[in-house]
Amino acid sequence: MDTLVNAPAEAVEWRVSDGLVGYAEAVAEMERRVAAIRDGSAAELVWLLEHPPLYTAGTSADPAELLEPDRLPVFKSGRGGRYTYHGPGQRVAYVMLDLNRTGRDVRCHVHRLEEWVIRTLARFNLAGERRAGRVGIWVAGGDGREDKIAAIGVRVRRWVAYHGLALNVDPDLAHFSGIVPCGIATDPSGYGVTSLAALGITASMAEVDTALKATFAEVFTGSACPA
């Protein structure tokens, strides 16, 4: 069952889905909502959910990076980026915003999504960081290793942005071995994938949602973008 929650930012609705939402179902719902936002018949929306285990292929996906094509269902996605994994224990946030209101700047929108994750992780005393040439948010280890904790991919239709981000709370990290996540090879390159749970941070999905809601308004109504 879905619940609607008062938004912390002006005129933006929040939806939290219980259970697992199929990927095709979610994309169809996003497409409908984006059209409604564009014609003014619906408010902007942040939709928080979890998917069943699956891989998605973004518009830049290289088939060679699907290492185990029979492991999980694979869905072509209109978002930017390459292959990524979605599954239980991962908080997906689909962010449907009218860039005519926030600024017709896709780079700025991605920057704000990154900042949103960084500020959310800070609520759990974890330093999330950007890396040049690598989309998403990373956590630096003491041994020089860097692990990705959140993936970001967006699509824009007539200046309404959708898709969004996926934050690893406590997913099955073994499923990432079936792909080259977002085009970034894991061992022995020194890059990997991690989660809050793998880092010893015990956080429920509800606690993560609370942090996401608490930091959303300060980023999307007041955070500046790089020049």
CATH number at residue 215: 3.30.930.10
Confirm whether 53 is domain-assigned.
yes
Q: Quote the domain boundaries for residue 111.
A: 2-220
- Check residues 183 and 22 and name the one with the higher pLDDT: 22
Instruction: Give the integer Cα–Cα distance in Å for 196 and 170.
Output: 6
Confirm whether 211 is domain-assigned.
yes
182: annotated active-site residue? yes
Confirm whether 74 is domain-assigned.
yes
Point out which residues pair with 147 in neighbouring strands: 139, 192
Record the pTM. Answer: 0.90
Confirm whether 225 is domain-assigned.
no
Point out which residues pair with 15 in neighbouring strands: 4, 47
Domains: count for the chain: 1
Main-chain dihedrals φ then ψ at residue 99, nearest 5 degrees: -70, -10
Confirm whether 227 is domain-assigned.
no
- Point out the catalytic residue in the list 121, 154, 179, 182: 182
Answer whether 203's CB lies under 8 Å from 210's CB: no
Confirm whether 226 is domain-assigned.
no
Residue recorded with tokens 């088939």: 63
Confirm whether 65 is domain-assigned.
yes
Point out which residues pair with 50 in neighbouring strands: 20
Interval 102-148: pLDDT, tens:
888 999 999 999 999 999 999 999 999 998 888 899 999 777 788 99
